[in-house]
Each structure stands twice: as C-alpha cells, then as structure tokens.
Chains A and B, each alone.
Chain A
Amino acid sequence: NGCLKEEQRSRSTLRERFLRSLIAMAGKTVDFTMYERVSVTATFAASDIDILNFQVSHLQTPLGIQKEALLRCPDIIAYTFNL
C-alpha cells in the first residue's frame, strides 16, 4: 500500500527531525513559557522519550535559581533557543 508507506515515511521524517532538535538543544540556554504567564530560563539537559519531562540545570525562576530540576512538559506552552 503506497499511501500507508508514504504516511509512515512522513511520520518518521517528522519524528527524526523533532528528536534531532531535542539533541541539538542539549547544553543550550532555553526560554520556557509556562502557564499562568510564568517565564523561566534554564540549561536543557535531556528529555524522556514520551516527552513528559525535561531535565534542566540552573533553572532561573521568579523565586530564585534551582540547580537541578525537572519540568513537566504539559506545563510548558512554548520554548525557544538559539542554535
């Protein structure tokens, strides 16, 4: 079935690109926009594969800096980083 094959190819291309973007983000400073208009900045380290948790360092919060932390991905609206 050519249609299914094409769909699988598109899906794997998108997935691979997304995974590579996460790998590229390791060690970079990332700005996170969270719910309730909270913005935080942290150094991204790693993500679990279900993209439920981001492990970060030097998390700058409105209440101070947390050396190591986990961010729940469902709490994040958007994130940006410079390549």
Chain B
Amino acid sequence: IQPPAERPGERRLVEMRRLYGDDATKIQGMETAMQLLFDRKCDKKQPKYW
C-alpha cells in the first residue's frame, strides 16, 4: 500500500481557488458550515427519502 500522493482536500482547494479566486476561503467556509448543519440534523432526525 502506497501512502497518499496528495493531502486530502487539496484538489478541492485548488478547484475552489480557480472558481472563486480571493473569495475561495469565504465561500468554502459558508459551505462547510452548511454541510455540518445538514449532517447534524440528519444524524438527529434520520429522515428517509420521500
């Protein structure tokens, strides 16, 4: 087994920089916050697909 060739999330960070330039960190921060909220609510409520 080989060690990982790149750090996790690095490719995403490069992509975010390409898309949003100087605002990449801000957008990524907002997205992370939203995803955490979603994950937390789903853990608590265990919703099923309708």
Contacts and interface: CB of A to CB of B under 8 A. Distances in A.
Interface of A: 4-5, 8-9, 11-12, 15-16, 19, 22-23, 40, 45-49, 53, 55-57, 59, 61, 66, 68-72
Given A23-B34, A57-B45, 4 more contacts: A8-B19, A48-B34, A49-B35, A72-B49
B7 interface: no
Interface in B2-37: 19-24, 26-27, 30-32, 34-35, 37
A6 to B, nearest CB: 10
Dominant SS at the A interface?
strand
Contact of A48 (B26, B35, B48): B35
